[in-house]
Amino acid sequence: NAGVTQTPKFQVLKTGQSMTLQCAQDMNHNSMYWYRQDPGMGLRLIYYSASEGTTDKGEVPNGYNVSRLNKREFSLRLESAAPSQTSVYFCASSQRDSRDQPQHFGDGTRLSIL
Partner 1 sequence: AQSVTQPDIHITVSEGASLELRCNYSYGATPYLFWYVQSPGQGLQLLLKYFSGDTLVQGIKGFEAEFKRSQSSFNLRKPSVHWSDAAEYFCAVGFPKAAGNKLTFGGGTRVLVKP
Rule CB under 8 A: which residues touch partner 1?
4, 31, 33, 35, 40-45, 48-50, 56, 58, 90, 92, 94-96, 98-108
Query: Phi/psi of residue 22, each to 5°?
Result: -105, 145
Taking the least distance from each CB to partner 1, the nearer of 42 and 53 is 42
What does 69-96 look like in DSSP terms, one character per residue? -SSSBEEEEESS--GGG-EEEEEEEE-S
Taking the least distance from each CB to partner 1, the nearer of 78 and 108 is 108
Taking the least distance from each CB to partner 1, the nearer of 72 and 104 is 104
In the bound complex, what is the minimum distance in angstroms from residue 7's beta carbon to partner 1? Answer: 13
In the bound complex, what is the minimum distance in angstroms from residue 20's beta carbon to partner 1? Answer: 19
In the bound complex, what is the minimum distance in angstroms from residue 33's beta carbon to partner 1? Answer: 8
